[in-house]
Structure 1
Amino acid sequence: MTERKPLPDGLASDVRHLVLELRVLKDRAGLSLAALAQRTPYSKSSWERYLNGKALPPQHAVTSLGKLADADPARLMALWDLANTAWHEAEAPSEAPGDARSADEEEDAVSAAPPGEPEPPAGRPFADRRLVWSAAAVALAAALAVSVAALSGAFGGGSGEHDDGNGTAGTDTSTRQVDVSCFAESCEGKDPRDAGCGDVWTAALQRIDGVYVELRYSDACKAAWSRISWGHPGDAARVVARDGRTHQKKVSYDTDTFSPMVAAPSPTVAQACIVRTSGVRGCTDWGGTHHLNEAPEPPASLLTPTSTPADPTADPNHSPADPTADPNHSPANRS
């Protein structure tokens, strides 16, 4: 492992405390920067900036790492609240020409940040601020009060998050503090990727007629959806809730797609289904509370189109620049 870079000399003390805490959590979780990028909605270069004091991590990035390291959500949110205040107080009124980020960094930041929460600019000068202890105490108390009641579910810890098997998990306000664009009922029918539901995991998995069918679940959004892999164009991923709500989406080309979401207080109230062009239908069991391994990537033989007209998977019009291309087929975009 490479030696960590020293933090900037002028980094405000509250920001320094948060960054050092995130470094400890990263080590506790045993994750490299690349692994963090795979497990969260933020890129490797974004995590490098966050962990070296070059940019203030968004609240959702902090909660994501905290969940992976089984951290105390109240303490972590209190640190972030103080760091957020310190960062903005220390920002210069204008940015010098030499402080601008490269085009690659700007593009990376836009792709990494979830909807609704822009990433603070990196490279701005810092200045030590005087701590106003009364204000800090108020901020800490408020953060503790809100975080204990509102963020425990976001970290997936304890028995309080999961239901008793009857789909009656408490709909606490935990994930309202996470940077997603919908929560529970407001996620109904929406695209999970567009909504920023980045803490996704597999709650049920079954192979039906050669196709992997998964029930995907987000604790942050309190919603579930279906994903199919190793399918063919025309096959549909369908999610079904116990109360009859259902949404589906068909594979446009290649092998996989995912459905819109159903609001679900826990994964036990939803199941994933497939409707194949051949007429074969099937569903997984109702979702469970254990995180399962995801479906494997499809073999190259399924991803490579052929020139045989009779082959229903062949799409001679497809190219990377095709404006009708379904972005869901890319392993990097699988939800």
Structure 2
Amino acid sequence: MPAELPDTHRRLLEELRRLKSRHGWTFAQLARKTGYSTASWQRYLSGRAMPPWGAVDALGRLASQEDGRLRALWESATAAVARQSAAQRTAPLTRNGEEAADGGPGAAPRPRSPTTLLAGLLGTALLVASSLALLSPWDAGTASRVPAPRGAPPNAPVWPWPLPTTTGPPAGAPCLANGCRGRDPYRLGCDRSSVPVHAVSAGHRTLTLRYSPVCRAVWAEVAPSAGTSVLTVSGDGGAVTAPPGDARTGMLGAAPGRARGNVNLPDRQLGVSAGTSWVVDQ
């Protein structure tokens, strides 16, 4: 892989290569099975091009993988690639370690004509305008955020996505923070504004930690839920545990960055928090 690949892009490619190698598929077989050409798969898996979500999803489905982990890896990788591309576009042009525009450190600046200055100002204005147009609603005024990557599933947030907060009780909130403790987020409607904090997949199960900025509460979900136990969401305010086989816990008033979810499968335990995830064989 190219040395300059972001770590998240590299992890995505390692996972896709692992799936391809495990099933012994050739590039030609992948092309026939997924609808993406042999040349495209060669570019994707070599790191020369970012695979679109459709290709990642097709390979995941072909390998019978839950899409939660692949989606998290893909969104993380596309966000990192977008940041890297933006940094490269705005970096000053250099040649052999010297400033190309001024002829090197210490060299007298070259005089610029009014036409050149006007073109530069117009270019800067267009760049700023296009950047602002790409910012998501949560990103207004925060140029360091990355918009949703091209090819993302409908309504999918970027990864790592910003988690909105509010300064006062939102109007019409069915409950708030600890007042939501143990209550069903779907019955109260707290799920409508919720965002996934992080997710992990193993053993054909996906554990997701979710947060509602309106209700200011977190909960854990697992799919499919049959055969699971000790599904728990925990934080500074304690813990809430669902009955065995339930698909989700009740809510817990906690900040998303200070919460974690856990679930026991017959042969392993899954865990997830805002910054990491883990799988422990039992």
Above 0.5 in TM-score?
Answer: no
The alignment's TM-score, normalised by the length of structure 2, stands at 0.37
